[in-house]
Amino acid sequence: MKVFLGGTVNGSSWRSYVIPRLNIAYFNPVVKVWSEAALDRELYERRHSDFCLYVITPKLTGFYALAEVIDDSIKRPDRTIYCFLSEDGGDTFSDNDCKILTTIGEQVAGNGGYNCRSLDGVVNLLNNDQRKKSFENSPVIDKHHDVYISYGRNDSKTLAKHVSDSLTKKHYSVWYDNAAIPQEIAFLAQINQIIRQCHCFIFIFSAHAAHSEYCLRELEFARLLGKNIIFLFEHALPVEQQIEQATETSLFVDMNASFHIDLTKDANLNAVITYLSTSLEHLTPHTQWLNKTHHWQESQQDDDLLLYGRQRISACKWLSTEVDGLGADLYSVSDNVRGYINKSAEQAFSKRCLYYFNQWLSPVIHHKRFDAFIGSSSIANPLALLPQLWVLFMATSAEAIAISMWFLFLSLQVCGALFAVKHRNFMMCISQFVSMVITCSIIILAFVKQ
């Protein structure tokens, strides 16, 4: 479970009070140097964290945080936590401000969110054991984790729990299968989704894992995605034997790092934690673009899902610099991801033009009666064709009629009719159908009289 620590910045110390008391993973958006990468990471974490916490204090300098909390309480109320403090480092809210902020809290609660009266209340809410269990038992498709742990249940369950607990204490979000869940098709698809949304893949090597169909399937899927892969070897087993077995099964292919863990010494995990602390900032964008690519492909490469604006610029910059720089040793980028970003870049000009046209014509095309007007105006199409049909009907010869042109008109009318059906525009659909009938009549008469 992970919480996004939003709300007042500007020198406020509330995060320093909350963070040491949390028993769950968190994301702190406060950085020393603000950049586009920091903004992208903040937006990503805000969207994918299990909870978004907004603490408002008198050091607040703008209204953006208030807009965020109201927006989140509407879009995902069960994940929104609101708290306002009347005093912060000697600064206080006026009575009128307190009334307004109290009203906002009541609105958040009314939307289904959480309205906490103190930081201790926030901490107690987030550390609630029953809440954690409900998240562990809830569908995991939309959850994002820093680490996925793959292990053989027969001989590495203790080590997997040890690693998970140790990383969680350091506020990393970890997922591993700690229950005897049947390996059904639906669950396997869910596992693939979790691996896709995790930044780092840890494979705990053991004799069981090296020959487990499910463990090897997870490892292979992580490789196909280009995930950062870490091998953990249990120190109690002969190292030479483990390496020999791993080499024989070709498990070392595409490995990014390996560590030996001694269950009797927690300090041995420091190397893993250090590795994660220096790697995650580079792994996060890889996961972000990977998931966007997957969504795009699942939607039959819908152009509406291509990257636009700041996201496109960020992705192109990442692809041209990060991938061949520090990221080259941490992950691999599939052709699908490259294709997605490159196509976004190719479509940038046309999408930008459409965007500006959309903004320019917004008062017209977004008017509530625009669709009705277009549907009514389309009646002019069959009315314009009727004189042509009458002239041809009365003529003794049709030598001057270009039949190929009328076939072209017919194809355009068919497209218009399909468009009208898709957008449920009844008037436009009727007008296109009548136009098709008239055009077909003209074509038939032209053939008869030639």
**Does 317 lie in the same domain as 400?**
no
**Does 220 lie in the same domain as 111?**
no
**Does 147 lie in the same domain as 284?**
yes
**Does 173 lie in the same domain as 119?**
no
Which of 85, 108, 132 is the C-terminal boundary of a domain? 132
Domain tally, the chain: 3
Low-confidence ranges of the chain (pLDDT < 70): 129-143, 179-188, 234-256, 258-268, 323-327, 348-356, 358-359, 366, 368, 398-400
Domain presence at residue 102: yes
**Does 102 lie in the same domain as 202?**
no
Q: What pLDDT sits at residue 134?
A: 45
Q: What is the CATH number of the domain that holds 101?
A: 3.40.50
**Does 111 lie in the same domain as 186?**
no
Q: What pLDDT sits at residue 148?
A: 93
Domain presence at residue 360: no
**Does 149 lie in the same domain as 201?**
yes
| Entry pTM | 0.52
Domain that holds residue 69: 2-132
Q: What is the 3-state secondary structure (H, E, C) of the chain?
A: CEEEEEECCCCCCHHHHHHHHCCCEEECCCCCCCCHHHHHHHHHHHHHCCEEEEEECCCCCCCHHHHHHHHHHHHCHHHEEEEECCEECCEECCHHHHHHHHHHHHHHHHHCCEEECCHHHHHHHHCCHHHHHHHHHCCCCCCCEEEEEECCHHHHHHHHHHHHHHHHHCCCCEEECCCCCCCCHHHHHHHHHHHHHEEEEEEEECHHHHHCHHHHHHHHHHHHHCCEEEEEEECCCCHHHHHHHHHHCCCCCCCCEEEEECCCCHHHHHHHHHHHHHHHHHHHHHHHHHHHHHHHHHCCCCHHHCCCCHHHHHHHHHHHHHCCCHHHHCCCCCHHHHHHHHHHHHCHHHHHHHHHHHHHCHHHHCCCCHHHHHHHHCCHHHHHHHHHHHHHHHCCCCCCCCHHHHHHHHHHHHHHHHHHHHCCCHHHHHHHHHHHHHHHHHHHHHHHHC
Which of 300, 315, 346 is the C-terminal boundary of a domain? 346
**Does 282 lie in the same domain as 146?**
yes
**Does 416 lie in the same domain as 268?**
no
**Does 274 lie in the same domain as 157?**
yes
Q: What pLDDT sits at residue 34?
A: 74
